[in-house]
Amino acid sequence: MAKVLIADDHELVRSALASFLAESADFQISEAATLEQALTTIAAQGPFELVLLDYTMPGMSLPAGLTQTIRANAPGPVAILSGTAPPEVARRALAAGAQGFLPKTMAPDTMITALRHMIAGHVYRPQDFLDSEREKKAAIHITPREMDVLRGVMAGKSNKEIARDLDIQEVTIKLHVKTICRKLDARNRTHAAMLARDLALA
């Protein structure tokens, strides 16, 4: 019976996944709600045949949190679990040594197959998910001037500072920011900067 640790701060999601895996795949499941709890559990009960880390739980970061867990659980593998992270984050996690990346939207049977694949020592790459970002990125058309503005937004500059840097009117910057947010389907300039960074647009 393979020992699996699920570290996720969403209790309902974590419990549901733990119950499903224990009943459907005969895994021995342990749970944690934060990175600190996960590391404590690994020290007490590990190493596990597989550790699943939620990308957004308290204390978690890339690559530091992942690297720390990989060292703690050695020689057992560590994978990233997420319902919100974009494909670029998945690629970063895999490059940093994650045994796999599991979108929470995966079909249950596919998830069990993925877990067994990783426990057997193989890297799990959800190719359809990874390719979806390239399609999205190709569909976004940012003009050269908008890209200049976007770089300023990503650098945390105000509209006034960006206008001064580019030698154009501040009202024009506001229009560009509004257009960029619409093209990226972003809620605000901060969200636009996050999306642009994840999509490696600038």
Over the stretch 101-157, which tens digit does the pLDDT of each residue have? Answer: 998 878 888 899 999 999 999 999 887 766 655 545 556 788 899 999 999 999 999
Q: Residue 201 and residue 150: Cα distance in Å, rounded?
A: 9
Q: Name the token pair of 2.
A: 């393979």
Q: Within 10 A of 172 (CB to CB), how many other CB atoms are there?
A: 15
Q: Which residue's structure tokens are 């105000």?
A: 158
Q: Residue 142 and residue 154: Cα distance in Å, rounded?
A: 14
Q: What is the pLDDT of residues 6-29, one digit of tens each?
A: 999 988 889 888 988 888 877 999
Q: Name the token pair of 183.
A: 């093209």
Q: Enumerate the β-bridge partners of residue 7.
A: 32, 53
- CA dist 186 to 12, 144, 177, 194, Å? 28, 19, 10, 9
Q: What is the pLDDT of residues 128-137, one digit of tens each?
A: 766 655 545 5
User: Which residue segments constitute the domains of the chain, with CATH numbers given?
Assistant: 3-132 (3.40.50.2300), 140-198 (1.10.10.10)
In this prediction, residue 65 carries a pLDDT of 95
* 64 has pLDDT over 60: yes
In contact, 82 and 89? CB cutoff 8 Å: yes
- For residue 200, what pLDDT band results from cuts at 50, 70 and 90? low
Q: Residue 89 and residue 123: Cα distance in Å, rounded?
A: 16
Nearest to 17 by CA among 52, 56, 59, 65: 52
In this prediction, residue 83 carries a pLDDT of 77
Q: What percent of the chain has pLDDT over 70?
A: 92
Among 45-49, 53-57, 119-123, 182-186, name the one with the lowest average pLDDT. 182-186
